[in-house]
Amino acid sequence: MDCSLNLTDKLESQLSKDIINALVLCSKTAFESEYKIFLIGGVVRDLILNRKVADIDVTVEGDALKFCHILADKKHCKILQVQNDLKTVKARFKNNVIIDFASTRQEFYPRRGHLPVVVRIGCTLQEDVYRRDFTINALAMSLNENNYGDVIDYTGGVKDLENKTLRVLHDNSFNEDPSRIIRALKFAARLNFHRDEYTKEQQQKYLTTQIHNDISWTRIKSELKQTFSLNIPRAYDMFLANDTYKLVYGENPDIRGLEIKTLVDKYSPDYPWLVYLGTVLENKSIIDAFCFTRAEKKIFTDKEILLESNLNLHSTNYEIYKCFEKRATEAVMIYYLLTKRKEALVYLERLKDIRVELTGHDLKNMGILEGRKIGAILDEILKKKLSGKIITKADEERFVKQQIKK
Ligand code: CTP
């Protein structure tokens, strides 16, 4: 165990006064009530890396629920949420500081990739850190008065942070939780780290030898969402090069991440992460298992519809427009990436926002009463707008008047 690193200065420079005050209250209370408490996981990693800290996670050696009740009795915090089986607590301190408390625990996984069944709550910190994903996420920082700020490193995480290395803690890590394969991708992209040889071997072993159809796809989906929402081309390139896409039974489309990022930046779709994933994800049962929202699912059905369309070099702007108009922008982008058909770009760049400004109601007011005729004229206006022969609303009105005269 390495305790030579102390983060007291980093706490001061990277955390707000309010968070530091809350941590000091926790520390004092722990001392008085003889608990041992630690910052744990991502927060310690990010403090050492001088990165913005997202969440404050504290682990209590023992029962976090009992400890939080002591804090609450002293009016230091308000308990917001309790998860009784895991003995975790979300608490709010002064000025809206939120801290997540967990009890140290050892875990047992009944089925690969599913939430673990707890074996033992209140184990030692050392036993707790060995259930975690990578050495860089298995670091703790003491919040105890005798060694406040000391980093506790049972697994060599500090060295791995220095060497920018992602390393799993044991042979069973990916079996226990295959979403860690995607987490490795996320951290590699976000922090510009790489997996060590052992971790690569473990991943390859998992992907080639395991039958992984009973895993928790929602966790995998959540990690994929976080990873591709980073909009970092390297994440996608690694996803393909490292065979990670096989985890979701995908197809390697031989596309570069930069190509996708360029499109995403240009057309700002609502679900950028699904443009990345949608180029790879083919398997219908996995798509179902991901439990997409209706809007997300539409992207995949639209993609299939577009891949069956028969646009060609001679398609008119009107045909192109009609093919894409009802499809999700993400699906149009995926279609382009997979087929490289220029018509998709013509649509995104020039046609997508073209609309007929006159409505059926306007045409009625102008004296055209027959429904079918109204539809036909509006369609004719659209064709002319798409070919650039009609531009403004005044042009549209002029065209309608000509039709009435005829
Ligand atoms: N963890 C794990 N295995 C997982 C997910 C999480 O071992 N599949 C552990 C890691 O120790 C991690 C901690 O739980 O640091 C908290 O998880 P999470 O909040 O998802 O990750 P962070 O490391 O805090 O990363 P982020 O910055 O993305 O929030």
Q: Whose CA is nearest to atom 20 of ligand 1?
A: 42
369 lines ligand 1 (CB under 6 A): no
Per-residue confidence (pLDDT) for residue 117, from 0 to 100: 72
- Cβ of 41 below 6 Å from ligand 1: yes
Mean pLDDT, residues 260-285 taken together:
96
Q: Whose CA is nearest to atom 19 of ligand 1?
A: 42
Q: Specify the higher pLDDT residue, 117 or 141.
A: 141
Can you give the pLDDT at residue 3? Answer: 55
pLDDT of 108 = 74
**Residues in the chain, overall count:** 406
Q: What is the mean pLDDT of the chain?
A: 94
Contacts 24+ apart (CB under 8 A), 225-231: 225/273, 226/186, 227/182, 227/185, 227/186, 227/189, 227/273, 228/272, 228/273, 228/274, 228/276, 228/277, 229/272, 229/273, 230/186, 230/189, 230/190, 231/261, 231/264, 231/265, 231/272
pLDDT, mean of residues 303-307:
97
Taking the centre of ligand 1 as the mean of its atom positions, its distance from the CA of residue 137, in whole angstroms, is 7
pLDDT at 194: 97
Taking the domains of the chain in order of start, what are their residue ranges? 1-163, 294-351, 360-405
pLDDT of res. 130: 94
d(CA 45, CA 36): 20
Going by pLDDT thresholds of 50, 70 and 90, the confidence category of residue 14 is very high
Question: Which residue lies with its CA nearest to atom 26 of ligand 1?
Answer: 42
pLDDT at 344 exceeding the cut of 70: yes
Residue range 193-213, pLDDT digits in tens? 999 999 999 999 999 886 656
Q: Is 183 in the pocket of ligand 1 (CB under 6 A)?
A: yes
Distance, in Å, from the CA atom of 351 to the CA atom of 397, rounded to the nearest integer, reads: 21
Per-residue confidence at 118, pLDDT binned at 50, 70, 90?
A: low
- The CB-side HSE value for 254 (13 A sphere, CA atoms) comes to 2
Percentage of the chain exceeding pLDDT 70: 96
157 lines ligand 1 (CB under 6 A): no
| Owner of token pair 């009625």 | 364
Closest Cα to residue 221, out of 134, 304, 116, 292?
Answer: 292
What six digits make up the tokens of 238?
A: 């690694």
Sign of CA dihedral 113, 116, 119, 122: positive
Residue 132 Cβ contacting ligand 1 at under 6 Å? yes
Residue 138 Cα: closest atom of ligand 1: 11
- pLDDT band, residue 115 (cuts 50/70/90): low
- pLDDT value at 1 more than 60: no
Which one has a higher pLDDT value, 119 or 133?
Answer: 133
Sign of the alpha-carbon dihedral angle for 20, 21, 25, 26: negative
Whose CA is closest to atom 13 on ligand 1?
41
- Rounded Cα–Cα distance for residues 113 and 223 (Å): 13
Q: How far is CA 383 from the centre of its chain?
A: 40
Place of tokens 């995949």: 300
In this prediction, residues 9-19 reach a mean pLDDT of 96
> Whose Cα sits closest to atom 9 in ligand 1?
132
Asked which of 59-68, 188-197, 200-209 is least confident by mean pLDDT, the reply is: 200-209
Q: 23 or 368: which carries more pLDDT confidence?
A: 23
Q: At what angle are helices 317-324 and 371-386 packed, to 10 degrees?
A: 110
> Is the CATH number 3.30.460.10 carried by domain 1-163?
yes
Residue with tokens 């997300």: 296
For residue 177, which atom of ligand 1 is closest to its CA? 8
User: Higher pLDDT residue, 175 or 323?
Assistant: 323
Residue 56 pLDDT: 98
**What local confidence, expressed as pLDDT, does residue 313 receive?**
86
For residues 340-357, one letter each, b for 16 or more C-beta atoms within 10 angstroms of the residue's C-beta and e for the rest, the string is ebebbbbbbeebeebebe
Q: Which of 26-30, 382-386, 401-405 has the lowest mean pLDDT?
A: 401-405
Distance 180 CA to ligand 1 centre (A): 9
Virtual CA dihedral for 270, 276, 278, 283, nearest 10 degrees? -140
| Per-residue pLDDT band at 113 (split at 50, 70, 90) | low
Mean pLDDT of 54-70: 97
Query: Residue 114 has what pLDDT?
Result: 65
Closest atom, ligand 1, to C-alpha of 45: 23
CA of residue 42 to ligand 1 center, whole Å: 6
Q: pTM of this prediction?
A: 0.92
Quick check: CB of 105 below 6 Å from ligand 1? no
Q: Which atom of ligand 1 is nearest to the CA of 187?
A: 28
Whole-number pLDDT of residue 69: 98
| Per-residue pLDDT at 371 | 84
Lowest mean pLDDT segment, chosen from 118-122, 285-289, 308-312, 328-332: 118-122
CA of 28 to the centre of ligand 1 (A): 27
State both tokens at 213.
């159809």
Q: Which of 59, 112, 133 to mutate to test the pocket of ligand 1 (most atoms within 8 A of CB)?
A: 133
Mutate to test the pocket of ligand 1, among 39, 48, 132 (most ligand atoms within 8 A of CB): 132
> Stretch 154-162: mean pLDDT, rounded?
97
Examine the pLDDT at 119 and tell me if it is beyond 90: no
Buried b (16+ CB within 10 A) or exposed e, 50-78: eeebeebbbbbbbbbbebbeebeeeebbe
pLDDT band at 116 (very low <50, low <70, confident <90, very high): low
